[in-house]
């Protein structure tokens, strides 16, 4: 049963992403029919940590991972402005000097789901390997890309146990946005 048949069956409206597709790894386009979780429920937005590897000081791969998709996430993004305030004697208030925009603060709250009665140990270990990488991570999410976020640096994370939910692993990831800067040597 596809999403449209499901929507007609239970008389609910499903968010249609066909008008706003997003790209995964330059070339594969997702549409609304791909937004289904392992349980067959509609997914508003997901997160994919793009494949990558961690290199040691000598350039050899220490660890690597394939694309890691998480469907059950809630994203929260905030951004501040960089402003310098200067006090001037004899004047009330301050002079404000706008410097620019700060990095985005990104919080990803989600869960990894295992089969009934099976803890998602392998998925949890894989996610921890990705989060432990001491480098910028390429991330794909139409919602984040809509805000201009394609890479993040993880500043912290937590995994919590929940009473009565052995088959689910909840997590919170705190990160800041990153812009990859590449220098080109011309001569």
Copy the structure tokens of residue 24.
Answer: 């995964």
d(CA 138, CA 180): 10
Task: Give the pLDDT confidence of 104-157 residue by residue, as tens digits.
Answer: 999 999 999 888 889 999 999 999 999 999 889 999 999 999 999 999 999 999
DSSP 172: E
Specify the fold of 32-177. Answer: Elongation Factor Tu (Ef-tu); domain 3 (2.40.30)
Helix (H) or strand (E) holding 159: strand 151-160
Helix (H) or strand (E) holding 132: helix 121-132
Task: Give the pLDDT confidence of 77-107 residue by residue, as tens digits.
Answer: 999 999 999 999 998 999 999 999 999 999 9
Residue corresponding to tokens 């508003």: 44
φ and ψ at residue 20, rounded to 5 degrees: -140, 70
Task: Give the pLDDT confidence of 32-56 residue by residue, as tens digits.
Answer: 445 666 667 777 788 999 999 888 8
Listed by start position, the domains of the chain span 32-177
């Amino acid at each position: 049963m596809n999403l449209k048949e499901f929507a007609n069956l239970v008389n609910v409206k499903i968010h249609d992403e066909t008008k706003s597709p997003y790209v995964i790894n330059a070339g594969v386009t997702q549409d609304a029919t791909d937004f289904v979780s392992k349980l067959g429920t509609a997914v508003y937005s997901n997160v994919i940590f793009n494949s990558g590897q961690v290199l040691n000081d000598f350039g050899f791969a220490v660890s690597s991972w394939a694309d890691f998709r998480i469907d059950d996430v809630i994203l929260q993004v905030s951004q501040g402005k960089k402003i310098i305030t200067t006090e001037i004697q004899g004047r009330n208030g301050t002079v404000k000097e706008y410097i620019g925009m700060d990095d985005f603060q990104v919080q990803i709250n989600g869960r990894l789901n295992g089969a009934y009665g099976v803890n998602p140990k392998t998925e949890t270990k894989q996610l921890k390997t990705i989060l432990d990488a001491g480098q910028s991570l390429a991330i794909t999410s139409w919602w984040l890309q809509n805000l201009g976020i394609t890479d993040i640096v993880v500043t912290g994370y937590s995994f919590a146990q929940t009473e009565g939910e052995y088959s689910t692993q909840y997590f919170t990831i705190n990160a800041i946005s990153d812009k990859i800067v590449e220098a080109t040597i011309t001569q």
